[in-house]
Structure 1
């Protein structure tokens, strides 16, 4: 069995943003030479998420509104975590959206259902963060 590791780096200038990374993941699969296996894609920072869903702007706006209702950014004083940084809401939002995805690789391609795409979700931007791509297989 072979393995391949790659990192994607982000420095999102806004506090929150959804970025499609499907093509970046497929490029890593191409670079790996692995034709059959699994790919793990995970956010390496605790205020960012990786998830799979539809690339549809209305859905992305729905995420923003829904997550803001669940864990509003302000007032910062509502969270015990806030002190040095005012990002407790980002930690909570990440818990809801998840840390990683695992996808099948078949014939050297992401083995996806209709409309599935991989996204990086920055929840507390304005700093350098990264995503790990780890591919195993033959």
Structure 2
């Protein structure tokens, strides 16, 4: 079964911790051991696993991505004007595969799963699939 998370973003660039939502979905599954695939079906957003203890890490990530991929650039040619969002999304990636053991997500002590918005605010979806292993 593929689960759908509905996410409302509020800013152009935003990193949202979806770890609790993915964990809630896992509790609904009869899965002790296997995989969790978290996928973003959008070309201007992505999925990342990174530190979730210090909120400044999210700010630093967005700051650096904005430095590398500024919103305005004289050589961008994409007609929609959101080339920076596409570049950020391809850098972050569209999915993450995580281990499940003992009915829980296997994450490092400081890790969390993030939905990364780069062209908001928008209504987004995130798809989650659990596979018995």
The unaligned stretches of length 5 or more in structure 2 are: none
Superposed counterparts of 1:1-138, under 5 Å? 4-55=1-52, 56-75=54-73, 77-81=74-78, 83=79, 85-137=80-132
Per the normalisation by structure 1, the TM-score is 0.89
Q: CA deviation at 1:126?
A: 2.3
Contact 2:14 2:62 in 1 (8 A): no
Per the normalisation by structure 2, the TM-score is 0.93
Alpha-carbon distance in structure 1 between the residues aligned to 2:90 and 2:128: 20
Displaced runs of 4 or more, over 4 A: none
Q: How many residues align?
A: 132
The unaligned stretches of length 5 or more in structure 1 are: none
Q: CA RMSD in A?
A: 1.3
Q: CA deviation at 1:95?
A: 1.1
